[in-house]
Amino acid sequence: MNVLIVVSHPRQDSLTFRAVDRFAQGLKDAGHQYEIVDLHRIGFDPILQGMDEPNMEMPHQKFSPQIETEMERLKRHDAVAFVFPLWWWHLPAMLKGYIDRVMNNGFAYGADQLHLQKVLWLTLTGVSKAQMDKRNYRTAIENLLNVGIADYCGVSDSHVEFLYETSGMEPEHYERLLEQAYRAGLNYAGEHVAKQ
């Protein structure tokens, strides 16, 4: 499987990027190929305006060069994994802008849907699982990402993997989170063939 890893975090020395590295290693060890796109490093503009506004009357709309580039990048892959911190119980603005602009009408929904086999949302959250479950935040986030975005774009195989308690913990806890990220990559397609 060829997997596009889309990462949204302003700092490359963050736990988010360490999780990306471990996830990618898991993919590699399972025999998959991958490409990492760092939205901050490529200077992605998250603001939807002008020619990228969805036009429901045009089944095959022409988009801005940056968006056409990212659409072509997605087309070259079988699956996508989004890696990001959960901020205010939601996607970071950069990633939300990517979804708004790239997963657009006539490409991801409408006349055409995404060709992807699988979507993974690997999200790092500062709170515990108990805190996430307290007001059904986890269920709400899973519904938003798996149903509201992935399924709407024609991808029924979508999963949210939470890395909990990402701040103020002992080093051993972070190692467990990074091992979880590695396992998510290793088991991304449901089964894997280990390297010989």
Question: 27-55, pLDDT tens digit by residue?
Answer: 999 999 999 999 999 999 999 988 888 88
Q: Inform me whether the pLDDT recorded for 189 exceeds 90.
A: no
Distances (CA, A) of 63 to 1, 47, 78, 100, 189: 28, 14, 22, 13, 32
Question: 113-151, pLDDT tens digit by residue?
Answer: 999 999 999 999 999 999 999 999 999 999 999 999 999
Q: Return phi, psi of residue 154, to 5°.
A: 90, 10
Q: Tokens 């059904």, residue?
A: 136
Distances (CA, A) of 176 to 91, 138, 166: 23, 20, 11
Residue of 144 and 193 predicted with greater confidence: 144
Q: Inform me whether the pLDDT recorded for 195 exceeds 60.
A: no
Name the burial class of residue 152, with classes exposed (0-12), middle (13-18) and buried (19+) by CB atoms within 10 angstroms of its CB.
middle
Name the CATH topology of 2-186: Rossmann fold (3.40.50)
